[in-house]
Structure 1
Amino acid sequence: MSFNQTQKYLATVNGSSSPGSSFSGSSPFGGASNNNARPLPGINLDEEIRLTTNNRERAQMDNMADLYSIIVVLEHLELAYIRSSITHTEYTPACRQLIAQFRTASSLLGEVVPDLEKFMKEYNLNCPAAAKRIKIGVPATVEFGDGVSNEANGHRTAKYVAETVQSYITVVDVLKLGMAAVDQIHPLLADLMQSLNNVRSLPADFEGRAKVREWLIKLNSMKASEELNAEEKRQLEFDLESNYTAFRGWLDNQ
């Protein structure tokens, strides 16, 4: 039966005066009829709906799907580590890889996904642990340490103290040389945070650790190619030198 024939049949059943006029009353299929429910000419309900119309849109959709899956996987990884389902040696490299993948995927999307929180809200992603890890940009083992004691080994403790001193000096020297790009400074600050956490006897409220964390979050919110302005660079250098002095003062009192 053609579309026109179907209209005529329904019009006859419902007592409508003409095939093209609207009709009311009960549908022959039961229940009240709905004008909006009638099939429209030229539309095939079995036809696949395409979300994209060209290769550029298809690539963008694929990148958004990758971003979504990375966030979900990172959430599961964080929860697995919190619940001790995996060890720190398994967690750390996997987390680093996912953070790097997130940065790559988000850079490909550019202005399409300018804000992580908006992206997660738009697609109903409830992944607070992943969002926090992405915000700081380093694994929890770097932010807080891996929880493995090394104080029994005096040689190893001395090694970590030396590494911390070297990390402070390296970052300050890089800033003095005029380097201010995010991708130049962020890895060095992450190494400094790791070194500070390796020194187990360092007080938990040591201000230097909190300051480094603040700068990691700030840098991670910027693009890799962006640079700190003169004021930000000067403030970072001041914070690091102040914290290094405090760290040396703590060592002298040991």
Structure 2
Amino acid sequence: MLDDFMTRATLAGIGVAFAAAPLGCFVVWRRMAYFGDATAHAAILGVALALAFQISIFVGAMVVALVMALTVTVLAGRGYAMDTLLGVLAHSALAFGLVAVSFLSGVRLDLMAYLFGDILSVSRTDLLVIWGGAAVVVALIMWRWSALLTSTLNEELAYASGLNPRQEQLVLTIALAITVAVAIKVVGVLLIAAMLIIPAAAARGLSRTPEAMAFIAAAIGAISAVAGLQGAYVLDTPAGPSIVCVATLLFAGLNIVGWRSQGDG
């Protein structure tokens, strides 16, 4: 079954959707959209370093994404607004990454794949890395689910409950770095934030509980991956952007239905 490239691509897309869904819910709840985007942009520097030192792309992207996220967390509140700090670090890392890639022979032609994904070239090894990373992310979120929710709702309540909100932020940071690393092959660094935010945002209006929102977001992400790949195959369009387009259409459609239901009520 895994000999077929479309089967591997579909499984890869679903794996990324499962990793991004619960994490994306916390990104939406905590209003961390720009934080996720900045972390994803930094991953291109990790790709360049991985290629330069001939190590795994997954490892390079994850390490740099984690360093970026931890740097932002440490420097936040030390004289700079969060959005300013994110803007400086995100665009600087992206620029340095693109310049670094230009010095590596034989890499220039693959640059678009790293920026927008190349899901159709996913190998069995890539599939193992994607699903392994997704399993780690889901396990992390499930392990700290109650603590993460409490810290997200109210930091003072978290402290009163014996929790450390900064420690929960670290859990999210690690999960975000892993998700960025596994999603590079599927949607590329420029579209990772979209797969984090759009399915979660689309699920928000359909959910009565946080847990339901995470499950619905995973379903929307998986549907987007499958439908986007089929659309790309039929229409001969880029696969990664096609997946994001389907997710956006689902978000728009679900919101329109929700508005009409509210109007009728």
Which TM-score applies when normalising by structure 1?
0.32
Structure whose CA Rg is larger: 1
TM-score with structure 2 setting the length: 0.31
Q: Which has the higher contact order (CA 8 A, sep 6+)?
A: 2
